[in-house]
Amino acid sequence: MKKEDIGKLKAELIQFTGTEYYYFNPLFRQFRYTDGVKFLAERAGAYWLLDYIFSNQSHKSLRGQGFQVWKIRVKQDDSATITVEDGNNNVLKRFRLEYTDFPLEEFDLWLIDKVLILPSEY
């Protein structure tokens, strides 16, 4: 994604407040996501990230956590770290990705009671 497209994507994402619809992946029916998350997944080619978040809910440290902050940080070499926090800066789990094509250097998503949202949609 070009630098100007990344700037445009960031500007478009912060305009999402609330949601009109909730979506789900048939593989993870118990989880929902919002209009803003759907927009991010489509524009950034990041449906994999939604699947990653939902598929990792079985980890002992994440089970039963009603509020989770998922922080993706992409490095210069296209590797990334994903840190999951409880909303009070307490780290619940860390993941390392050897490669990602996620276009944003850093981005946060919130999973609240099985609904994945953009922070601006809270």
- Provide the pLDDT for residue 120: 97
How many domains are contained in the chain? 1
Quick one: average pLDDT of 62-74? Answer: 97
Does the pLDDT at position 18 exceed 90? yes
Residue 47: give the domain boundaries.
3-121
Q: Which CATH number is 85's domain given? A: 3.10.450
CA distances from 80 to 16, 55, 94, 112, 121 (A): 25, 18, 11, 23, 25
Local confidence band at 84 (pLDDT 50, 70, 90 cut-offs)? very high
- Provide the pLDDT for residue 4: 86
The strand pairing partners of 117, in sequence order, are 110
